[in-house]
Structure 1
Amino acid sequence: METRNKNKDKSKTRPLSKDRTVPSSSRDAGRVLVIKDEPESLIPWYRRLGTFLYDNEKRTVCERSRLSATPTGLSNTPLIWYKENDEKSYQKYIKAIDNLLSDNTRKRANKTELGPCGSPPYGYGEKPCIIIRVNKHVGWSVKPIHENSTYYKDVPANIKKLLENKQEKLYLTCDGFHSYDKEHIGKIEYYPNPPGIAADVFPLDMYGSSPLLAVQISEFTLGMSIAIECKMWYDGPTSSLHFLLYVTPKNVAV
């Protein structure tokens, strides 16, 4: 009995392999089983996506309609899915960001502020970029969050530090949705950094361009469906959006 428990502990702390795939003995919620008579479940992220979206419907606190992300809106499912080192499989994501950044470019913020996420191939396929856009709402005016705000207690420590230094903006943060997503999401970089939007641009000009921020994800676990949540912090209920990232390892047939 004691020996079995020792072995169990070892498997829990077993490190990831060098190619960032998960050891076959690892037990993780990001992996999905093939269900009999359910052919769609052969797609690794299929059942996870259904559960993820269902769970999110219960989260009524967040105002999701305030934000949108490119290229996650290419289908009815908020998903980025491609194969490692397979340019063909992620070409559509590059094209989607191309279209976004070429639309009314002169009115948009300088694309150099978006770093590597401001020019093709936008980090695909090792370090994919997601462009976050604030959606236009007639008359929607907003102020930076402050320490006397009802919502201040939920603000992450790094954002509080920026606010304490009088960098008063609307700030974006992204992270794994669940604890196991946080474990596998790897590294997140923002462009510009810190990822803030000046409050004086609101309400947005309905004929102008929306503010853009970029998120770049790297060193994440391959072959794992990773649920990601991004939040915009200001003096009001948090605006958020959610999507899944799944990159198939190159040695796995699709």
Structure 2
Amino acid sequence: MRKTPSTARAANNGVGYEWEYAKPQDDRTRWEKIKHGIWNPETHQFLGRTAKSWGGIITFYIIFYGCLAVFFAICMKVLLSTIDDHEPKWQLEDSIIGTNPGMGFRPMPGVDEGSLIWYQARNTSNVETWSKSLDLFLHNYNNSDSLPGHGHNQMICDYNIPPQPGKVCAVDINSASWGPCIHKANYSYSRSSPCIFLKLNRIYGWMPDFYNDKSNLPQQMPDSLKSYIKNVTDEKKLNTIWVDCYGEAPADKEHIGEIKYYPQRGFPGYFYPYINTEGYLSPLVAVQLLRPKLNTLINIECRAWAKNINYRRSLQNREGSVHFEVMID
């Protein structure tokens, strides 16, 4: 019903005029309204747009997103042209990683366990869990076919036989030099004398500065390691990144017992520098705790020794060493 000017003026408190026009009543069903919204036969509109309108907007978005795709492709081409697949652009002092390699250990405990290796030596399931963890870590060492190039460029190296250009040194993890730290012996976990594997993180182009002068060893170096170095008869074997493990606190030093290193007490120098050669495997050192005290938590630190490996013992930013705990029930 149409309002008169007087009623409109009264409803608007006398300010301006408000006119409303009567509209014809829409008797269509909801489904008819939906169909009419999808296709209007009177105006030939589909979803509210004519064919010309749809053609214009589709053409606009094709051109718009096509230009974006071309611009993105150009940016990626320029970016990838600055990247070398073989070596990083920023190396050593110029890189974020720097020149101080970190050290890691395996087997790695679960997230909830932090750095604690805790198991029951008589529990077959416990021993198998840790053994499988090491099997997984050593998979590429035991299966050269899984390496890039299937390990065809690997060779047996020695201090007298460094790797040839394009070749890498093989790590025979099952040789007799690894003692009980092999899969067949369950890495000695069932004997309450577990083996923990150590490795240095890779830094492209980094070359260690060895402590290979027996008469010029650092004062803070442990006496046991000094004695070991001084007893090395082959001068070339002094080109080694030495490793020393010990209990952190006085109680830990008492409980840790004797330690043995396989295949030797350090990382051979002929594995360095790392230059991303296909099939490269990092050298390993297996640390066996021969007689650790049972049912006791033992805090252990292992340190790498080279003149250009800086050492800092910090809970937030540990450098040149690695910390883990062992508890055997």
Equivalent position of 2:286 in the other structure: 214
2:187 aligned partner, one-letter code: Y
SS in 2 for 1:123: helix
Equivalent position of 1:70 in the other structure: 106
> How far does the alpha carbon of each residue in 1:163-190 deviate from its partner, in whole angstroms, 9 at most, with x for none?
4443411111111111100111122111
Q: CA deviation at 1:214?
A: 0.4
Does residue 204 (structure 1) correspond to residue 274 (structure 2)? The answer is: yes
SS in 1 for 2:261: strand
| Match 1:137 to one of 203, 207, 232 | 203
Q: CA deviation at 1:201?
A: 1.9
> How far does the alpha carbon of each residue in 1:62-113 deviate from its partner, in whole angstroms, 9 at most, with x for none?
x995211110354361110112300112322101111122214345411213
CA distance in structure 2 between the aligned counterparts of 1:84 and 1:179, rounded to whole angstroms: 25
Larger radius of gyration: 2
Larger mean CA deviation between 226-235 and 109-118 belongs to 109-118
Structure with greater contact order relative to length (CA < 8 Å, sep ≥ 6): 1
| Match 1:230 to one of 302, 307, 313 | 302
| TM-score (ref. length: structure 2) | 0.51
CA distance in structure 2 between the aligned counterparts of 1:163 and 1:190, rounded to whole angstroms: 14
> How far does the alpha carbon of each residue in 1:187-207 deviate from its partner, in whole angstroms, 9 at most, with x for none?
2111113x1222232122434
Larger mean CA deviation between 140-149 and 65-74 belongs to 140-149
CA distance in structure 2 between the aligned counterparts of 1:134 and 1:143, rounded to whole angstroms: 15
SS in 1 for 2:130: helix
Aligned length, in residue pairs: 185
| Match 1:94 to one of 124, 131, 143 | 131
**1:184 touches 1:221 (CA, 8 Å); kept in 2?**
yes
Q: Report percent identity of matched pairs.
A: 28
Does residue 247 (structure 1) correspond to residue 328 (structure 2)? The answer is: yes
- 1:137-156 matches, within 5 Å, as 137-146=203-212, 152-156=218-222
Q: CA deviation at 1:225?
A: 0.6
Label 1:149 to 1:200 Cα distance change in 2 as closer, same or farther (>3 A).
Answer: farther
1:197 aligned partner, one-letter code: F
Does residue 118 (structure 1) correspond to residue 182 (structure 2)? The answer is: yes
- Tell me which stretches of 4 or more aligned residues in structure 1 moved more than 6 Å: 148-151
1:204 aligned partner, one-letter code: Y
**2:203 touches 2:274 (CA, 8 Å); kept in 1?**
yes
Label 1:243 to 1:65 Cα distance change in 2 as closer, same or farther (>3 A).
Answer: farther
CA distance in structure 2 between the aligned counterparts of 1:158 and 1:211, rounded to whole angstroms: 22
Q: CA deviation at 1:218?
A: 2.5
CA distance in structure 1 between the aligned counterparts of 2:133 and 2:100, rounded to whole angstroms: 21
CA distance in structure 2 between the aligned counterparts of 1:89 and 1:163, rounded to whole angstroms: 37
**2:260 touches 2:289 (CA, 8 Å); kept in 1?**
yes
SS in 2 for 1:159: helix
Q: CA deviation at 1:115?
A: 1.7
Equivalent position of 1:51 in the other structure: none
2:135 aligned partner, one-letter code: D
CA distance in structure 1 between the aligned counterparts of 2:269 and 2:208, rounded to whole angstroms: 7
Label 1:104 to 1:218 Cα distance change in 2 as closer, same or farther (>3 A).
Answer: closer
> How far does the alpha carbon of each residue in 1:28-62 deviate from its partner, in whole angstroms, 9 at most, with x for none?
xxxxxxxxxxxxxxxxxxxxxxxxxxxxxxxxxxx
Equivalent position of 1:127 in the other structure: 193
2:188 aligned partner, one-letter code: G
Equivalent position of 1:82 in the other structure: 119
| CA-based RMSD | 2.6
| Match 2:226 to one of 154, 157, 160 | 160
**2:121 touches 2:127 (CA, 8 Å); kept in 1?**
no
> How far does the alpha carbon of each residue in 1:115-146 deviate from its partner, in whole angstroms, 9 at most, with x for none?
21122311013111111112211222112125
1:110 aligned partner, one-letter code: D
Label 1:65 to 1:141 Cα distance change in 2 as closer, same or farther (>3 A).
Answer: closer
